[in-house]
Amino acid sequence: MEARPVIIWSDRYTEHTTGDHPESPRRIAALRSAFEANGIFERSSVLEPSPASAEQVLRAHDEHVVQLVERAAERGGGWLDPDTYVSSASYEIALLAAGGAINAVDAVMAGAPVAFAFSRPPGHHAETRRAMGFCLFNNIAVAALHARAVHGLERIAIVDWDVHHGNGTEEIFWEDPGVLFVSTHQYPFYPGTGALDERGGGAGLGYTFNIPLPAGADDDMYLAVFEDLIAPALRDYQPQLMLVSAGYDAHRDDPLANMQLTTAGFGRLAVIMRDLAGELCPGKLVFVLEGGYNLIALGASAVEVCNVFLDDAQQLRDPRSERNSGR
Ligand code: ZN
């Protein structure tokens, strides 16, 4: 059993090149610098991701999408839509991104206290039949469906705090009561979905919970939303595994969006998720990277979130720590 937090990391995520695009390989370089400067890797178990198989990706997507990305990469790359680029390595790296999320699930199911998949490209806009919004395959959806298929889980919660609505994750699980999808996002905003009255359909009615927020939402508003709306929803659902679509583009310095979350604010959200996971499904908590486009804010916020768990691990290893009894 792995006692330390697990980080799924690969520098190969930089091989999905996108030219002059905010979702660039520099995001991975920025995370690496921030993690090195803050001793994140030393305090974690760092694992290389393994690529997802086509079969694993096809649990969330139509064959059409997989073939579209594969063929675009084979042709040397191109734009799938005005936002979404495929380079020659992108098919392989998108499989590695989905695979990293699967590896993170496997790590917590094997006993790791928490796992972080720093996957790139991001995934939460990718729908069953459509890659879009910088996203090729829906990494977190592939991971959730893996958790069901291989680990037999019946109730999985996905909390999406990326500033954009996770339309792809919503669509994939729209009629699925086995996945509770909860999203906070700037609204109205890209991609246009995520209204309060989108609540799922069929057997999945009531298992999609959108919390659209006005531009300018700050730490206090986010904290209130997580404590007063998301925590009760998760307690009602009693998930066996919690996955977080952890984008960092609700940061106040992000160039693409207009929220006011601070670096410390992300840490406070992570504490809430840590405590809820501790209460509902101990040790079954996975963070999957989504957006975040100010490189400094991205690195600092990801460090802040990791430290919520690494400081815990530190305290567990050091019984003399005065903070051992506190939270
Ligand atoms: Zn985003």
* Residues with catalytic roles: 125
Tell me the whole-structure pTM to 2 decimals: 0.96
Protein residues within 5 Å, CB atom, of ion ligand 1: 162, 164, 247, 249, 291
291 class by beta-carbon count within 10 Å (0-12 exposed, 13-18 middle, 19+ buried): buried
Over residues 1-7, mean pLDDT: 86
Whether residue 124 is contained in a domain is answered as yes
Determine the distance separating the centroid of ligand 1 and the alpha carbon of 325, expressed in angstroms.
Answer: 36
Rounded to whole angstroms, how far apart are CA atoms 241 and 277?
A: 8
CATH of the domain at 259: 3.40.800.20
Determine the distance separating the centroid of ligand 1 and the alpha carbon of 150, expressed in angstroms.
Answer: 29
Determine the distance separating the centroid of ligand 1 and the alpha carbon of 40, expressed in angstroms.
Answer: 24
Residue 316 confidence (pLDDT): 58
Per DSSP, the three-state class of 209 is: strand
Whether residue 1 is contained in a domain is answered as no
Residue 108 confidence (pLDDT): 98
Residue 315 confidence (pLDDT): 63
Per DSSP, the three-state class of 304 is: helix
Residue 131's closest CA among 178, 199, 78?
78
Is pLDDT above 70 for 84? yes
Determine the distance separating the centroid of ligand 1 and the alpha carbon of 138, expressed in angstroms.
Answer: 13
Determine the distance separating the centroid of ligand 1 and the alpha carbon of 164, expressed in angstroms.
Answer: 4
Range of the domain at 217: 6-325
Pairing of the two strands 156-160 and 115-117: unpaired
Q: What is the pLDDT of residues 254-264, one digit of tens each?
A: 999 999 999 99
Whether residue 139 is contained in a domain is answered as yes
Determine the distance separating the centroid of ligand 1 and the alpha carbon of 278, expressed in angstroms.
Answer: 27
Bridge partner list, 288: 117, 245
Helix axes 63-74, 90-109, angle to 10 degrees: 130
Question: Is-contact 57 137, C-beta < 8 A?
Answer: yes
Residue 321 confidence (pLDDT): 47
Q: What is the pLDDT of residues 310-319, one digit of tens each?
A: 987 766 555 5
Question: Is-contact 297 260, C-beta < 8 A?
Answer: no
Residue 118's CB is within 10 A of a number of other CB atoms, namely 24
Measured in whole angstroms, the distance separating CA 158 from the mean position of its chain's CA atoms is 9
Rounded to whole angstroms, how far apart are CA atoms 11 and 25?
A: 9
Residue 7 confidence (pLDDT): 98
Backbone angles phi, psi at 262, to 5 degrees: -100, 170
Per DSSP, the three-state class of 144 is: helix
Rounded to whole angstroms, how far apart are CA atoms 49 and 40?
A: 17
Whether residue 65 is contained in a domain is answered as yes
Determine the distance separating the centroid of ligand 1 and the alpha carbon of 322, expressed in angstroms.
Answer: 38
Measured in whole angstroms, the distance separating CA 139 from the mean position of its chain's CA atoms is 8
Residue 29's closest CA among 40, 13, 18?
13
Determine the distance separating the centroid of ligand 1 and the alpha carbon of 327, expressed in angstroms.
Answer: 30
Percent of the chain at pLDDT above 70? Answer: 95
Rounded to whole angstroms, how far apart are CA atoms 244 and 288?
A: 6
317 Cβ neighbours under 8 A, 6+ residues apart: none
Question: Is-contact 162 290, C-beta < 8 A?
Answer: yes
Whether residue 308 is contained in a domain is answered as yes
207 Cβ neighbours under 8 A, 6+ residues apart: 173, 176, 177, 179, 180, 181, 199, 200, 237
- What is the total count of domains within the chain? 1
Is pLDDT above 70 for 1? no
